[in-house]
Structure formats: structure tokens, C-alpha cells
């Protein structure tokens, strides 16, 4: 009995000592540790000690609310369901699950007492503009550095300018928007009132017909515009811009000033980039030529010398008429400094292509990589 009592006391003393060690840590250290974790992991630390019980509420790291896969699977199950009544019942369950997730997010955000957050990501189908407005306002209030928004392709959320005008958002460094409507006034705000903004990515988003990327304090280093179908004219004057990506239809683009641009990605029907003077300074070029191949080939005959190009990545469909192989040849001929060639191929490889691929390996490239789909 004495031995058991002694062991119990020993365990209690050890637990008390461990708790004292935790409690003796300076306040900033536990908060910094928690901010490196996911929010659910940070919340579990509330059982460590009395001091840590509410410490997780000062979490200042990255908050990710990504229910897209779960919602997508539920939608698939609804489509597969046989019978209208069953589909209606599953739709009700889907809406209830979505509302439960939304309520949980609102409760969590209300619990947080941190003054700043590193990143905030919302990536799921939501049905309430009111909730989204609150979340965007929360991002501004917490001085978020990285903001990602996507609420489903069928829910076109208009980013409200008045929320941003009411408070300064000069902490923003990275902005990723998918299926979001961005007005001209909203774009001007980002260009002029977010001096730390280094990246803008707009995917499947509604934008003005004319976009002007410029500003006296513009620090933008990366611009991505993917399938923004309303866009017709684009003017870029960004001295710090290092990377540009465009996927979409024919477009009138004027690169007024891009002295730092070294990486470019083009895809879709747009091939006019071949005329641009900045191509001579590009070090990494990614091209998707799976559309309008004959026109691309014609344009490639006008390619200037890509004297600084070190890495070329090409996405193509190989056929047996030699058109795609001609594109390879024209690109390689225009790239005397090329050291790495990555090729992503759709459909099957033909003997003539296999010979060309082996020929590239014998040309002394540091890296030749081929991916087939």
C-alpha cells in the first residue's frame, strides 16, 4: 500500500513539474508554436495546462476552410441517386451539412482573439452572401497577409468595395480569387491601396473588359489571369513583375513596362505574345499549345530569339501529321541557351516523336523530361 501511494505521489509531482515547465514559458513562445499548427491541432492543446486552456484563441497562423471535396462527393451521390424523392432528401442533407459547416466557421472566428492572421482560405460551396461578407470583413480586421476565396462555380460572389474602403487592408501580400466577380473599383483599390501586394491570381472570375495593372506604389511580382472570359484589353505597367500567366481567348495586351519579367505562361487561344519584346528577357516559358495548333505554328515562324530562355515547358497533343513536331523544332531553334526542356504530351507517342525525344537527350540538355497523358 505504501509503495502504491508513493508511486501516485511521484506521478502527481511529475505532472505538476511538467505543468510548471509549460506555464513558465514566455507568453509569446506558446502562441508562436500554436500558430504553426492547424487550428484543430492548436485547439487540442487546451488540455495541456490551465494556462493553455484558452491560449489557442490567440492563434495567428493559417486558417483553411476547405470543404470542397466533401461537398463535391455529396453532389455526386445526389446525381447518382435513383428517384426524385431520394434526390430531394439528399439535397436537404447537403444544405444542412453546408449550414452546419458555415455555423462552425462563424463560431470559430468569433472565438479568435488574435490581432493578426497569416492566411485565410475559404474553399467550399456556400449559400449566404451575408456570411461571406462577414468573413471578408474578418480578413481585413485581422490584417491577413494571404487571402484565398472560392465559393463554388455556380455562386458568383461580388467582392464588395465598401468593406475595403471602411478599413485599410495594407497587410495583404497574396490574393487568390476563383469564380469571384471583381469590379473595376475593386481592382483599382488593390493596385493603389495594398502596397505589400505581390501576387494576384484570378481564375474563372468576372472582371472588367479593360484592366489596367499599374500604380505609383505597385509592388506586384506575380499576375495570373486564367479563363477570365470578359477580359478584352489588358495594360501592364509593373516594374517589379517577375511572373505572368494568361490562359484564355485572344486578347489585346500592352506590356508598357515589365523590366523584371523573367517567367511567363500562356495557354488557350492566345498566341499574340510572340510579338512581345519582353520575350528576349524571359528565362522560363510555359506554353500550352493544345488549342489552335496550326495558327500557333504560323506564329512560331515569327519567334524572336529567346536568348535568355533556360527552361521551356510545353503542353501539346502529338499527332501523326508532324504539325506539333514542327512547333518543337521552331521553339528549340529560337532558344540557344536552353538547358531544361519539359514536355507534357496528350494522346499516344508516335515513332517520329520518340526519335525526336531521344535526339533531344543527345543534344546536351541538363534535363529533358517527358510526361504523357
Across the range 249-253, mean pLDDT stands at: 86
Q: Of 154-168, 256-270, 295-309, 312-326, where does mean pLDDT reach its minimum?
A: 312-326
pLDDT over 70 (residue 253): yes
Q: Is residue 158 part of a domain?
A: no
Rounded Cα gap, residues 171 and 361, in angstroms = 47
Q: Can you tell me the distance from the alpha carbon of 148 to that of 57, in angstroms, rounded to the nearest whole number? A: 22
Q: Taking the CB of residue 111, how many other CB atoms lie within 10 A of it?
A: 12
**Least confident span in 229-233, 268-272, 319-323:** 319-323
* Interacting residues of 156 by C-beta distance below 8 A, sequence separation 6+: 179, 180, 181, 206
- Assess whether pLDDT exceeds 70 at residue 90: no
Residue 371 CA from chain centroid, whole number:
23
* Count of the separate structural domains present in the chain: 2
The residue to which cell 470559430 is assigned: 108
Task: Answer yes or no: is pLDDT of 45 > 60.
Answer: yes
Distance CA 197, CA 147 (A): 11
- Give the pLDDT confidence score for residue 153 in this predicted structure: 78
Query: Who wins on pLDDT, 238 or 303?
Result: 238
Is 252 inside any structural domain?
no
- The answer on pLDDT for 136 being more than 80 is yes
pLDDT recorded at residue 18: 52
Worst-scoring range by mean pLDDT, 262-266, 303-307, 358-362?
Answer: 358-362
- Matching residue, cell 509569446: 28
pLDDT attached to residue 351 = 47
DSSP secondary structure letter of residue 219: -
3-state secondary structure 28-72: HHHHHHHCCCCHHHHHHHHHCCCCCCCHHHHCCCEEEECCHHHHH
In a domain, 276, yes or no: yes
Is 329 inside any structural domain?
A: yes
pLDDT of residue 93: 72
Residue 47, domain extent: 18-59
Per the listing, cell 505562361 goes with: 265
| Average pLDDT of every residue of the chain | 79
Average confidence (pLDDT) over 249-255 = 87
Is residue 261 predicted with pLDDT exceeding 60? yes
DSSP 120-138: EEEES----HHHHHHHHHH
Query: What average pLDDT score do residues 31-51 get?
Result: 69
Q: What cell was used for 51?
A: 494556462
How far is Cα 31 from Cα 182, in angstroms, rounded to an integer? 35
More confident residue, 318 or 204: 204
SS3 247: strand
Is 141 a residue whose pLDDT tops 60? yes
Give CA–CA dist 95/345, Å, rounded. 41
How far apart CA 123 and CA 182 sit, in angstroms, is: 17
Higher pLDDT, 326 or 371: 326
289 domain residue, yes or no: yes
pLDDT band at 14 (very low <50, low <70, confident <90, very high): low
Last residue of a domain, one of 35, 59, 83: 59
Please tell me the predicted confidence (pLDDT) of residue 224. 98
DSSP secondary structure code for residue 9 in this structure: H
Distances (CA, A) of 54 to 26, 34, 58, 114, 126: 15, 12, 8, 12, 29
- The count of other CB atoms within 10 Å of the CB of residue 150 is 23
Is 50 exceeded by the pLDDT of residue 117? yes
Separation of alpha carbons 288 and 285, rounded Å = 10
Cβ distance 225 to 248 under 8 Å? yes
Helix (H) or strand (E) holding 231: none
Per-residue model confidence (pLDDT) at position 43: 67
Domain boundary residue, one of 40, 59, 78: 59
Overall average pLDDT of the 136-143 stretch: 94
Confidence at residue 55, expressed as pLDDT on a 0 to 100 scale: 72
Per residue in 267-310, pLDDT tens? 887 766 776 778 889 999 998 888 766 677 777 777 888 899 99
Bridge partners for 34 per DSSP: none
Amino acid at each position: 500500500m505504501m509503495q502504491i501511494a508513493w508511486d501516485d505521489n511521484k506521478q502527481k509531482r511529475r505532472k505538476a513539474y511538467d505543468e510548471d515547465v509549460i506555464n513558465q514559458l514566455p507568453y509569446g513562445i506558446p502562441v508562436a508554436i500554436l500558430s504553426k499548427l492547424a487550428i484543430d491541432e492548436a485547439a487540442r492543446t487546451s488540455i495541456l495546462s490551465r494556462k493553455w486552456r484558452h491560449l489557442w484563441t490567440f492563434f495567428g497562423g493559417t486558417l483553411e476552410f476547405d470543404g470542397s471535396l466533401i461537398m463535391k462527393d455529396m453532389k455526386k451521390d445526389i446525381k447518382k441517386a435513383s428517384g426524385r424523392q431520394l434526390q430531394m432528401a439528399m439535397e436537404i442533407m447537403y444544405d444542412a451539412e453546408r449550414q452546419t459547416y458555415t455555423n462552425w466557421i462563424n463560431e470559430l472566428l468569433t472565438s479568435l482573439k488574435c490581432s493578426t492572421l497569416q492566411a485565410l482560405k475559404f474553399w467550399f460551396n456556400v449559400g449566404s452572401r451575408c456570411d461571406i461578407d462577414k468573413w471578408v470583413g474578418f480578413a481585413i480586421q485581422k490584417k491577413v497577409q494571404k487571402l484565398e476565396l472560392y465559393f463554388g462555380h455556380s455562386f458568383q460572389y461580388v467582392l464588395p468595395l465598401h468593406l475595403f474602403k471602411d478599413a485599410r487592408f495594407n497587410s495583404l501580400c497574396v490574393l487568390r480569387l476563383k469564380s469571384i466577380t471583381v469590379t473595376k473599383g475593386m481592382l483599382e483599390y488593390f493596385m493603389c491601396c495594398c502596397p505589400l501586394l505581390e501576387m494576384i491570381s484570378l481564375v474563372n472570375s468576372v472582371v472588367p473588359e479593360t484592366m489596367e495593372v499599374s500604380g505609383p506604389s505597385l509592388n506586384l511580382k506575380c499576375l495570373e489571369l486564367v479563363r477570365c472570359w470578359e477580359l478584352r484589353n489588358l495594360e501592364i505597367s509593373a516594374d517589379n513583375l517577375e511572373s505572368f500567366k494568361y490562359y484564355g481567348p485572344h486578347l489585346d495586351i500592352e506590356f508598357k513596362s515589365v523590366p523584371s519579367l523573367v517567367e511567363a505562361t500562356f495557354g488557350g487561344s492566345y498566341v499574340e505574345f510572340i510579338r512581345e519584346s519582353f520575350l528576349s528577357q524571359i528565362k522560363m516559358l510555359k506554353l500550352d499549345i493544345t488549342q489552335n495548333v496550326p495558327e500557333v505554328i504560323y506564329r512560331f515562324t515569327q519567334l524572336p530569339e529567346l536568348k535568355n530562355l533556360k527552361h521551356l515547358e510545353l503542353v501539346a497533343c502529338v499527332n501523326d501529321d508532324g504539325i506539333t513536331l514542327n512547333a518543337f523544332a521552331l521553339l528549340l531553334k529560337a532558344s540557344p541557351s536552353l538547358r531544361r526542356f519539359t514536355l507534357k504530351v496528350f494522346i499516344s507517342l508516335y515513332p517520329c516523336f520518340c526519335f525526336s525525344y531521344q535526339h533531344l537527350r543527345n543534344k546536351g540538355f541538363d534535363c529533358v523530361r517527358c510526361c504523357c497523358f
